[in-house]
Amino acid sequence: MTRTPRTALTIAGSDSGGGAGIQADLRTFFANGVHGLVALTAVTVQNSLGVRGFTEVPADVVAAQITAVAADMGVDAAKTGMLATAEIIRAVAKTLDEVGADFPLVVDPVAASMTGHALLREDALEAIRTELFPRATLITPNLDEVRLLTGIEVTDTVSQRAAAEALLRFGSRWVLVKGGHMTGTSDCVDLLSDGREVIELSGPRYVTENTHGGGDTLASAITASLAKGASVPDAVAAGKKFIERCVAEAYPLGAGVGPVSPFWILNADSNS
């Protein structure tokens, strides 16, 4: 008999290069056994060398996509990635309320591409902080986003803890401060906290040029686990294992930065 998989909704932008954005989210959802739903927020024009520009989807069309799938197909967990404008962010927040969102929500506060190209209009990070963080089960900032959001420069595990505390004051249930961009450590240490529990997740740091889509892949792997009913600490631990393998198997494509890769899942032992 056909079994219907759990569903995960990504509210994010398209990457024409196929390595980040909804493309990363959908392949990660598939690799983790959940059906992906999409509310597209923006169309970026980019390749491995960088983002040439983007056009946003009208906010009412973003909202209508969420309403359409939530009412009929059901959402077991959702994540946000590139949201482009404050207007879209406000529409997403309002629509999540309207559909009575009682599912876990992961907010990845995407501000810029790795090549430094802004993926948000100017006032929009503030809107993510005020409109979406209070509705979030988990937020997943990298260290650049931590600095933009709190002014804290994370250089070690002490400042990483201070950043987690500052970020939790914006109202999310959990925060994952990703240490991947921290220099001078041989391991990659991420800090997960809900203000009571503080969990350090340490993993190997792989040396590769090809890390495009890494943040999106981690956030969507976590979202897939939440859709399947995992607790936040278990979902984050599983997501970290998944992204480590994707980084280890990242491949060159184009003359610039290649994508992290979930292709290994095709050869993975189904019992592992």
**Position 258 contacts ligand PXL (CB under 6 A):** no
Stretch of 6-14, 130-138, 173-181, 258-266 lying at the interface with ligand PXL (CB under 6 A): 6-14
CB nearer ligand PXL, residue 51 or residue 164:
51
Q: Cα separation of 97 and 36, whole Å?
A: 21
Q: What residues from 41 to 100 belong to the interface with ligand PXL (CB under 6 A)?
A: 44, 46, 51, 81-82
CB nearer ligand PXL, residue 79 or residue 90:
79
**Position 137 contacts ligand PXL (CB under 6 A):** no
Q: Cα separation of 111 and 117, whole Å?
A: 9
Output phi, psi for 40, to 5 deg: -75, 130
* Residues present in the chain in total: 272
User: 126: Cβ–Cβ under 8 A, 6 or more apart, which residues?
Assistant: 86
Q: What residues from 98 to 117 belong to the interface with ligand PXL (CB under 6 A)?
A: 110, 113
What stretches of the chain adopt beta strand conformation (E)?
A: 7-15, 35-47, 50-56, 77-80, 105-107, 138-139, 174-177, 187-193, 198-204
Please identify which residue in 9, 10, 11, 13 interacts with ligand PXL, judged by CB under 6 A: 13
Stretch of 14-22, 70-78, 86-94, 221-229 lying at the interface with ligand PXL (CB under 6 A): 14-22
What stretches of 115-170 adopt beta strand conformation (E)?
A: 138-139
Asked if 61 and 96 touch (Cβ cutoff 8 Å), the reply is: no
Question: CB 245: neighbour CB atoms within 10 A?
Answer: 18
Report in angstroms how near the CB of residue 43 gets to ligand PXL at its nearest: 9
CB nearer ligand PXL, residue 81 or residue 230:
81
**Position 260 contacts ligand PXL (CB under 6 A):** no
Stretch of 9-17, 58-66, 94-102, 240-248 lying at the interface with ligand PXL (CB under 6 A): 9-17
Asked if 14 and 42 touch (Cβ cutoff 8 Å), the reply is: yes
Please identify which residue in 104, 109, 179, 215 interacts with ligand PXL, judged by CB under 6 A: 215
Read off the amino acid at residue 82. Answer: M
Stretch of 56-64, 138-146, 172-180, 209-217 lying at the interface with ligand PXL (CB under 6 A): 209-217
Site for ligand PXL, rule CB under 6 A: 12-15, 20-21, 44, 46, 51, 81-82, 110, 113, 119, 213, 215-216
